[in-house]
A and B are shown apart, each in its own frame.
Chain A
Amino acid sequence: MARKSPEINAGSMADIAFLLLIFFLVTTTMDVDTGISRKLPPPVEEPDQDIDVKDRNVMKVLVNSQDRLMVNGKPADISELKNLTKEFMAIYPDDGEHPETTERFIEELNRNVVTSKGIVSLKNDRGTSYQMYIAVQNELAAAFNEMKEEESMKLFGIKYSQLVDENQIKAINAIIPVRVSEAEPEDIGGS
Chain B
Amino acid sequence: MSRFKVKKAKGDVAINTSSLPDIIFMLLFFFMVTTTMREVTFKVKMKLPEATEIQKLEKKSLVSYIYVGPPVNPRMYGTNTRIQLNDQFATVDDIAEFVQIERQDRPESDRKLITTSLKVDSDTRMGIVTDIKQELRKSGAFKINYSSRKGGKKKK
Contacts and interface: CB of A to CB of B under 8 A. Distances in A.
B117 A33 contact: yes
A76 to B, nearest CB: 13
Interface in A20-42: 20-21, 24-25, 27-30, 32-42
Given A21-B31, A79-B155, A34 B124 contact: no
A134 interface: yes
B48 to A, nearest CB: 8
A138 B149 CA distance: 12
Given A17-B25, A24-B31, A130-B120, A33 B60 contact: yes
A99 B62 CA distance: 38
A135 B137 CA distance: 23
A189 to B, nearest CB: 13
Interface in B33-49: 34-38, 49
B52 A17 contact: no
Interface residues on A, range: 35 or more
A36 B51 CA distance: 8
A14 B148 CA distance: 39
Contacts of A24: 28, 31-32, 35
A105 interface: no
Interface residues on B, range: 35 or more
Given A17-B24, A33-B57, A130-B125, A43 B138 contact: yes
A185 B130 CA distance: 7
B123 A145 contact: no
Interface in B1-53: 17-18, 20-21, 24-25, 27-28, 31-32, 34-38, 49-53
Q: In the A-B complex, list the 10 residue pairs whose CB atoms are closest, starting with the nearest.
A: A126-B127, A28-B35, A17-B24, A13-B21, A141-B53, A131-B122, A33-B57, A35-B147, A134-B49, A138-B51
Given A41-B137, A185-B130, 13 more contacts: A10-B18, A13-B20, A14-B17, A21-B31, A24-B32, A27-B38, A35-B148, A36-B55, A127-B127, A128-B125, A131-B123, A133-B126, A134-B122
Interface of A: 10-11, 13-14, 16-18, 20-21, 24-25, 27-30, 32-43, 78-79, 124-135, 137-138, 141-142, 145, 185
